[in-house]
Amino acid sequence: MRVLFHEISFSTNKRVQIVDLTGEVRAIANRWGVSNGMLLVFAPHATASIILNEAEPGLERDILNLFEAVAPADVDYHHNRIDNNAHAHLRSVVFPPYVVIPVRNGKMLLGTWQRIMFVENDGPRARRTVIVEYIGE
C-alpha cells in the first residue's frame, strides 16, 4: 500500500467563489501513477468547503445561492461578535471541507459532469491550501 501527499496552494479574489481543482488533482494523480485506491481532497480551513458537482456557470451561481440560503451572511450570529464570518463557518459545517474519490485502474471515478471544486466562503484570501492524499496500490 502506498500513501502519497501533495499540497495545492492558490489565492481567491472574491468573498464567495468556486475554484475548479479537477485538472490539478487529476495531474497529481497521473504524476503519481495511481492504480486502485482512494483520493482524499481536503481543505484545512474552517471557512471553506470541497464539493463535487458540475462546473457550469449558472449552476455555480445556484450553488453559491444555496450556500447563502443555508447560512445567510446578514444574520446576527453569536460568533460575529468576535469575527464577522460566522456564516462561512456554518457553511463549512453543512458542506464539509473534504471529499473522497475512488480510483480504479488509474482513473478517478468521477461522474461524467462531476468536478472537484473548492468553495471559498470567507474571501478573498491570499493563500488557501488543499491537501490531496492518495491511499492505495
Q: Which residue range(s) make up the domain with 110?
A: 2-73+80-136
* Number of domains the chain is built from: 1
Q: Give me the count of residues in the chain.
A: 137
Query: What gap in Å lies between CA 29 and CA 25, rounded to an integer?
Result: 6
Query: What gap in Å lies between CA 49 and CA 64, rounded to an integer?
Result: 11
Residue 79 is given by DSSP the state G
pLDDT tier at 106, thresholds 50, 70, 90: very high
CATH number at residue 98: 2.60.120.460
Kindly state the average pLDDT of the residues 80-86: 96
Query: What gap in Å lies between CA 136 and CA 97, rounded to an integer?
Result: 22
Radius of gyration of the chain (CA): 16
pLDDT in tens, 2-51: 999 999 999 999 999 999 999 999 999 999 999 999 999 999 999 999 99
